[in-house]
Structure 1
Amino acid sequence: MVIPIRGLASQNSWAFATIGLISLNFVIFFFQLHIGQEAALKLFWQGGAIPAKLSQVKLFGSGQSLKLAATMFTSLFLHAGWVHLLGNMLFLWVFGEALEGELGHWRFLGFYLFCGFFSLLIHSLAASKLSAPIIGASGAIAGVLGAHLIRFPQAPVQTLVYLLVKVKIIAIPAYVWLGFWLLLQFYGLRQGGPVAWFAHLGGFFTGLLGVFLFLPDASSGRGQKTARRPKNRRRR
Structure 2
Amino acid sequence: MKKRFFVTGIDTDAGKTFVTVGLLKAAKRAGLKSIGLKPIAAGADRVDGGLRNDDAVLIQQASSVRLAYEQVNPVVLEEAIAPHIAAMKEGRLVTVSRLEGFIKGTLLTPHDFALVEGAGGWRVPLNDREFLSEVAQSLDFPVIMVVNMKLGCLNHALLTAEAIARDGLALAGWVANTGAEEMPCYEENLVSLKSMLSAPLLGVLPWCEGEFDSQQMFDELLLAL
Specify if TM > 0.5: no
Higher relative contact order structure (alpha carbons within 8 Å, sequence separation ≥ 6): 1
TM-score bin (small chain) = under 0.3
Q: TM-score, normalised by structure 1?
A: 0.27
Compare the two structures and name the one with the higher strand fraction: 2
| Larger Cα-atom Rg | 1
TM-score of the superposed pair, with normalisation by structure 2: 0.28
- Name the structure where helix makes up a greater proportion of residues: 1
